[in-house]
């Protein structure tokens, strides 16, 4: 998809704030600092539209990006950031549980994990949760520019095994630096949303 027009429609914390346009929607989830905002920026050809930062835990709202008034990308705040209080963590859990369980236009979830490491316990919990709600899943292994090409097949097996992925779940290795995997991620989004 050729993207020229992107707008941050709303940073929402409650369902009554979610957009009501009826466009299909894809969410981006993953632990803090894994590269969610960087992936979104590459997909929409912007350098720094979705805010990237070296300070993890920055994004604390569900950010709805209107893409060409055809679909929404939803940047989900990252989990697993140590400096966030227990109270904040519970608030986060309630917010995303409500979103994933109730949001009708949601057509699939892109779940990001760091391609360099074994998926963490929290990554696995996130995938279990998305499986429970039967949401179509694309797992993106990020920062693959830091993995030698000869080791990349092994990354995919490690991700599939560590997250106990189902056959229908797809895995794409991605780099925001050299844009490896960008077309594959877009192909999955187009397939799930029916938008071209």
Ligand X SMILES: Nc1nc2c(ncn2[C@@H]2O[C@H](COP(=O)(O)OP(=O)(O)OP(=O)(O)O)[C@@H](O)[C@H]2O)c(=O)[nH]1
- Nearer to Mg ion by Cβ, of 59 and 158: the residue is 59
Return the SS3 of 53: coil
Could you tell me the two tokens for 181?
């995997």
Contacts of 90 (CB under 8 A, 6+ apart): none
The residues that touch ligand X, with contacts defined as CB under 6 A, are 30, 32-38, 52-54, 56-59, 77-78, 142-143, 145-146, 175-177
Per CB under 5 A, does 37 bind Mg ion?
A: yes
Please select the residue that binds Mg ion; options are 33, 59, 142, 180, rule is CB under 5 A: 59
DSSP 120: P
Q: What are the two backbone dihedrals, phi and then psi, of residue 138, each rounded to the nearest 5 degrees?
A: -120, 120
- Nearer to ligand X by Cβ, of 9 and 31: the residue is 31
* Rounded-to-integer distance, Cα 66 and Cα 25, Å: 9
Q: Please report how close the Cβ of residue 20 comes to ligand X at its closest, in angstroms.
A: 25
* Rounded-to-integer distance, Cα 130 and Cα 136, Å: 8
Q: How many residues bind Mg ion (CB under 5 A)?
A: 3
Which segment (37-45, 79-87, 106-114, 143-151) binds Mg ion by CB under 5 A? 37-45
Dihedral sign from CA coordinates of 113, 114, 119, 122: negative
- Nearer to ligand X by Cβ, of 33 and 111: the residue is 33
- Nearer to ligand X by Cβ, of 154 and 179: the residue is 179
Residue indicated by tokens 């939803």: 74
Binding site for Mg ion (CB under 5 A): 36-37, 59
């Amino acid at each position: 998809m050729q993207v020229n027009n992107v707008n941050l429609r709303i940073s929402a914390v409650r369902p009554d704030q979610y957009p009501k346009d009826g466009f299909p929607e894809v969410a981006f989830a993953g632990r803090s600092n894994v590269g969610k905002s960087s992936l979104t920026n590459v997909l929409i050809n912007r350098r720094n539209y979705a805010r990237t930062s070296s300070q993890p835990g920055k994004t604390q709202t569900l950010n709805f990006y209107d893409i060409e008034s055809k679909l929404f990308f939803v940047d989900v705040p990252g989990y697993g950031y140590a400096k966030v209080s227990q109270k904040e963590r519970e608030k986060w859990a309630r917010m995303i549980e409500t979103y994933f369980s109730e949001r009708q236009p949601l057509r699939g979830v892109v779940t990001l994990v760091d391609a360099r490491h074994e998926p963490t316990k929290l990554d696995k919990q996130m995938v279990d949760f998305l499986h429970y709600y039967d949401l179509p899943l694309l797992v993106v292994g990020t920062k693959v520019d830091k993995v030698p090409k000869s080791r990349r097949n092994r990354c995919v097996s490690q991700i599939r095994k560590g997250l106990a992925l189902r056959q229908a779940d797809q895995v794409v290795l991605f780099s925001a630096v050299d844009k490896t995997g960008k077309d594959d991620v877009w192909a999955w989004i187009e397939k799930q949303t029916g938008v071209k």
